[in-house]
Amino acid sequence: MLTQICAKRIKRFPVILALILFSAFPVTLAAEALKHISLTRTGLMPEDIAIIINDSDPLSRQVGSYYQRARQIPEVNVIHLRFPPDRTTLTATEFKQLKAKIDRLTPEHVQAFAVAWTAPYRVECMSLTSALAFGFDKKYCADKCEPTAPSPYFNALGSYPFDDYKMRPAMMLAGTSFTQVKDLIDRGIASDHTFPKGQAYLLNTSDKARSTRSVIFAETAKEFSGIFPVQVLDADFISDRKDVLFYFTGLTHVSSLDTLEFIPGALADHLTSVGGMLTDSSQMSSLRWLEAGATASYGTVIEPCSFPQKFPSPVVAMFHYALGASALEAYWKSVAWPGQGVFIGEPLAKPFAPQLREMSSDRFELKIFSPRAGRLKIEKSHSAAGPFKLASRPQTIRRGENRFLLKFNEKTDGYLKLHWN
C-alpha cells in the first residue's frame, strides 16, 4: 500500500507497487537502485554549474579548486581567466573581452555560473552577476532613479535558465579569506535536503525609505502560514536568535548580527543603496551576512533608489526555495529588476530539495517539501526507455513536509518515475 506519513493521520491507497510503513534508519541509497528511480528535478545540479576562476588571483584559484572538489563539478565546467584582480569595477570594454572568452569556453549544457572571487563585483553601472547573465547593457542599470529592464527569470518556473531563457544567472563565492569562503561552501553543502525548521524574520524598520518591501510582509506571513514560522516585526534588528532561516530588512547598517545563529542554507539581505559594494561600501556590505552565517545574500552595487523591484521579494524567494530550488535560483527568481544587484553565496545550496533514501533492503523513503498542495504520481516501466504507466492512484502532497515510504526492487519492478506538481 502507498503510505504517506503526516502529523495527523496516515492515508492508504491500494497500488500495484507495495509501499509500506516501517521503522526508519538512514543509509546511503544503493547505486543500482538509484539508476532505476528518477525524481522530479527541482533545482540546479553540480553538472549545471560552471566555475569561473581568475588565475591572477591566488584566493580565486584556491576557492575555485575547493568548490569544484566539494561539489564534484566536472573539470570541463571550470573556466580559467587571467586579469588584474586589484579593483572593484571593470569597464564595459574589459568585460566584453572577458565575456567573449567565457562564452567560448562554457559548455552548452551549463545553466549558471559560480564566480570564484569577490572583486571585481561590478561592470560600470551593472553588477558583475547580472552582466554575466544578460551581457553588459545599460538598459539594466538606469543612471537615474528610474526603472530598469526586467529579468525574464523573475518568478519563473523550471530549473534550466539557459535552455529556457538564454541567460546564465551567476552568484559570487564571496569572502575576504579562504576560511570564510570555505565555511560558506561547507554550510551550503550541509544544508542540502535538511528541511530546516527555522523562522523567517521580516523587519519593518524605522528607516521608512529602506522599508519599501514591508507592504508585502503581512501577505507573505499569510502565504506561508503552516509552512514556515514568519515573524513580521516593527524593529530595527533582532538579536539572540538561534533559528534564523530568512532575514529580510532595510537599513544602512544592521546591528547584532554577531548574536544570531543562522541555519545552514539561510538567506538574508538588507535593502540599502550600496550593500553590494562588497569591499568598499560606506554602508554595511552584504558580505557581513555571509560572515555572520547566512548562505546567500544580495546587494546593489550602485544607487538604485528604493524600488522594491530592484531587491529580493521575500515571498518569491521563500516560495521557490521551498519548492526545492537552489539558493542561486531562489534569489535570482525573486528580483524583478536585478541589473544593479550582485548575488553572493553558495549557489547550489538546496535545503528543501527532495530526498530519496534507502532505509533497508528494497525499502525507501521519499521526502518532499512543498509550499503548495499537489499530487505525487508514480509511474512504472520494465524499460528505462518506457513507456511508463501510472502505477498507483496519485497521492496527495500537503503544504510543508511530506514523507512517503515505498518498497522497490529493480530486478522485479523495473524502473520508476516519481513526479509531482
For the chain, the structural domain boundaries read 2-40+358-420, 46-149+160-345
Instruction: Check pLDDT > 70 for residue 24.
Output: no
Q: Which residue has the higher pLDDT, 229 or 362?
A: 229
Q: What is the pLDDT of residues 88-98, one digit of tens each?
A: 999 999 999 99
- Is the pLDDT assigned to residue 25 strictly greater than 70? no
The C-alpha cell at 224 is 506561508
Here the cell at position 48 is 549545471
State the first-to-last Cα distance of the chain, in angstroms, to the nearest integer: 22
Tens-place pLDDT, residues 99-143: 999 999 999 999 999 999 999 999 999 999 999 999 999 999 977
Is residue 147 very low, low, confident or very high in pLDDT (cuts 50, 70, 90)? very high
Identify the pLDDT of residue 11: 30
Cell, residue 297: 545574500
CB proximity list for 9: less than 8 A, separation 6 or greater: none
DSSP letter for each residue of 319-383:
HHHHTT--HHHHHHHT-SS-TTEEEEE-TT--TTS-EEEEEETTEEEEEEEESS-EEEEEEEESS
Q: How far apart are CA 80 and CA 53, in angstroms?
A: 5
Q: Which of 57-66, 358-367, 403-412 has the highest mean pLDDT?
A: 57-66
Mean pLDDT, residues 387-403 taken together: 91
Grid cell 584559484 is found at 61
Whether residue 236 is predicted with pLDDT greater than 80 in this model: the reply is yes
On whether the CB atoms of residues 296 and 342 are closer than 8 A, the answer is no
Cα angle 353, 355, 356 (rounded to 5 degrees) comes to 155
> What pLDDT, on a 0 to 100 scale, did the predictor assign at position 28?
41
133 grid coordinates: 547573465
The grid coordinates of residue 215 equal: 507592504
> What's phi and psi for 264, nearest 5 deg?
-50, 130
DSSP 62-95: HHHHHHHHHHT--GGGEEEE----S-SEE-HHHH
Residue 221 amino acid letter: A
More confident call, 43 vs 2: 43
Provide mean pLDDT across the span 257-284: 97
What local confidence, expressed as pLDDT, does residue 407 receive? Answer: 81
HEC assignment per residue over 122-170: EECCEEHHHHHHHCCCHHHCCCCCCCCCCCCCCCCCCCCHHHHHCCCCE
Residue 98 cell numbers, joined? 572577458
Rounded to whole angstroms, the Cα distance separating 37 from 142 reads 48
> Taking 90 as the threshold, does the pLDDT of residue 383 lie above it?
no
Please check the confidence at residue 23 and state whether its pLDDT lies above 70.
Answer: no
